[in-house]
């Protein structure tokens, strides 16, 4: 076939008929491109390049809309009865509401199962953090079958302490040490920063809780006058900052920070970096769902030293839910 017949529109691509929109795998390809953060326009161009088919933005929207039942099923699926560790964090996006775009948070809950594998338990879209909001999330987890959580690992999210205490009173809370350091030293003069950080390490780097409390007393005596808010932050949160001291080193490494869920959020940001805003909550929810499926499918390795961690948990939480 010569170039002139191609220009005259007589060429039929080998992959798919020129005007067919039902090629095997095309819808899956569109969803995969959407899950990678591509805009509808970019997806249309990619499909044109791959299949030589013209598709509208509206058709892309209709195909993406088909996953809505899957999203709802996934968000409401039964969960396991026990999670040794659950991590909670939020990632923020611009979402259209009425005529304007506002900042909303996608609250992500990640659990580590009894077999040591990670799983995304769900995402919730909301505007404001509050005890009421987090209690609704806790109730959702309970309604889906969660009976016990050993330790919740969180950032400085508002209202989580009250919500966890109401829904899972036996659970412990560990606030991320790294976030605590960042938030408490926000207004420390750079000239004092190195010394302040060295003194803080005597608290969170202590061998046990008694040594940490001694370090906190020394820190208060030394810095309370210059940086009262920094000292107050460590005093007010000392109970949920010191939880990890009760555990052996292997468990401490898991709950010490929220790096596990922050790594997940970095992947979400990478996927959505070319999508500055979303038309509505459902649009964001679908994007996070499709991205979650890709991410979870790559989580094939258990947490480091899980055999040892599992044995330690059996001893530490003997008599708690284990099934």
**Residue 24: per-residue pLDDT:** 56
**Pick the residue with more confidence: 271 or 206?**
206
**Residue 321: per-residue pLDDT:** 60
Query: Mutual orientation of helices 160-167 and 131-143 as an angle, nearest 10°?
Result: 30
pTM score = 0.82
Q: Give the pair of three-digit tokens for residue 40.
A: 């509808």
What's the pLDDT tens digit per position in 133-150? 888 999 999 999 999 999
- Is the confidence at residue 37, as pLDDT, over 90? no
**Pick the residue with more confidence: 12 or 124?**
124
d(C-alpha 139, C-alpha 132), whole Å: 10
Mean local confidence (pLDDT), 130-134? 81
Q: Give percent of the chain above pLDDT 90.
A: 47
CB atoms within 10 A of CB 307: 10
Phi first, then psi, for residue 148 (nearest 5°) are -150, 140
Domain layout of the chain by residue ranges:
3-66, 79-316
d(C-alpha 136, C-alpha 124), whole Å: 10
Q: Any bridge partners for residue 104, and if so which?
A: 93
**Residue 21: per-residue pLDDT:** 47
Contact (CB, 8 A) for 156 and 180: yes
- Is the confidence at residue 206, as pLDDT, over 70? yes
Return the closest-CA partner of residue 176 out of 249, 255, 267, 121.
255
**Residue 16: per-residue pLDDT:** 38
**Pick the residue with more confidence: 86 or 29?**
86
Q: Which of 11-25, 187-201, 216-230, 295-309 has the lowest mean pLDDT?
A: 11-25
**Pick the residue with more confidence: 274 or 94?**
94
**Pick the residue with more confidence: 199 or 55?**
199
Q: Give the pair of three-digit tokens for residue 269.
A: 């940001």
In terms of average pLDDT, the best of 5-14, 19-28, 58-67, 288-297 is: 288-297
Mean local confidence (pLDDT), 223-243? 93
Q: Which of 3-12, 106-115, 188-197, 251-260 has the lowest mean pLDDT?
A: 3-12
Mean local confidence (pLDDT), 2-14? 44
Q: Give percent of the chain above pLDDT 70.
A: 89
Average pLDDT score, the chain: 84
Query: What string of H, E and C letters represents the secondary structure of the chain?
Result: CCHHHHHCCCCCCCCCCCCCCCCCCHHHHHHHHHHCCCCHHHHHHHHHHHHCCCCCHHHHHHHHHCCHHHHHHHHCCCCCCEEEEEEEEEEEEEEEECCEEEEEEEEEEEEECCCCCEEEEEEEEECCCCHHHHHHHHHHHHHCCCCEEEEEEECCCCCHHHHHHHHCCCCEEEECHHHHHHHHCCCCCHHHHHHHHHHHHHHHCCCCHHHHHHHHHHHHHHHCCCCHHHHHHHHHCHHHHCHHHHCCHHHHHHHCCCHHHHHHHHHHHHHHCCCCEECCHHHHHHHHHHHHHHHHHCCCCCCCCHHHHHHHHHHHCCCCCCC
d(C-alpha 244, C-alpha 316), whole Å: 13
């Amino acid at each position: 076939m010569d170039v002139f017949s191609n220009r005259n529109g007589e060429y039929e691509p080998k992959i798919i008929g020129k005007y067919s929109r039902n090629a095997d795998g095309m819808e899956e390809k569109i969803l995969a491109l959407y899950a990678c953060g591509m805009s509808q326009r970019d997806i249309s161009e990619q499909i044109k390049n791959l299949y030589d088919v013209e598709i509208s933005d509206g058709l892309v929207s209709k195909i993406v809309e088909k996953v809505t039942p899957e999203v709802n099923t996934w968000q409401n699926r039964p969960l396991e009865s026990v999670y040794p560790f659950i991590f909670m964090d939020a990632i923020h996006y611009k979402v259209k509401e009425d005529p304007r775009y506002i900042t909303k948070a996608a609250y992500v809950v990640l659990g580590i199962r009894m077999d040591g594998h990670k799983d995304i338990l769900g995402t919730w879209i909301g505007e404001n953090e509050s005890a009421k909001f987090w209690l609704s999330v806790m109730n959702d987890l309970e309604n889906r079958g969660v009976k016990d959580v050993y330790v919740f690992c969180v950032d400085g999210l508002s209202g989580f302490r009250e919500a966890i205490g109401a829904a899972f009173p036996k659970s412990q809370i560990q606030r991320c040490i790294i976030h605590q350091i960042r938030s408490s030293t926000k207004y420390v003069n750079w000239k004092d920063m190195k010394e302040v950080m060295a003194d803080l390490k005597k608290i969170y780097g202590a061998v046990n809780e008694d040594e940490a409390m001694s370090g906190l007393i020394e820190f208060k005596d030394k810095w309370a006058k210059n940086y009262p808010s920094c000292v107050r932050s460590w005093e007010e949160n000392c109970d949920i900052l010191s939880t990890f001291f009760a555990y052996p080193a292997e468990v401490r490494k898991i709950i010490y920070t929220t790096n596990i869920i922050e790594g997940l959020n970095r992947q979400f940001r990478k996927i959505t970096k070319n999508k500055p805003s979303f038309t509505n909550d459902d649009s964001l929810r679908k994007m996070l769902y499709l991205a979650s499926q890709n991410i979870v499918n790559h989580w094939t390795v258990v947490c480091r030293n899980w055999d040892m961690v599992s044995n330690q948990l059996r001893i530490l939480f003997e008599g708690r839910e284990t099934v």
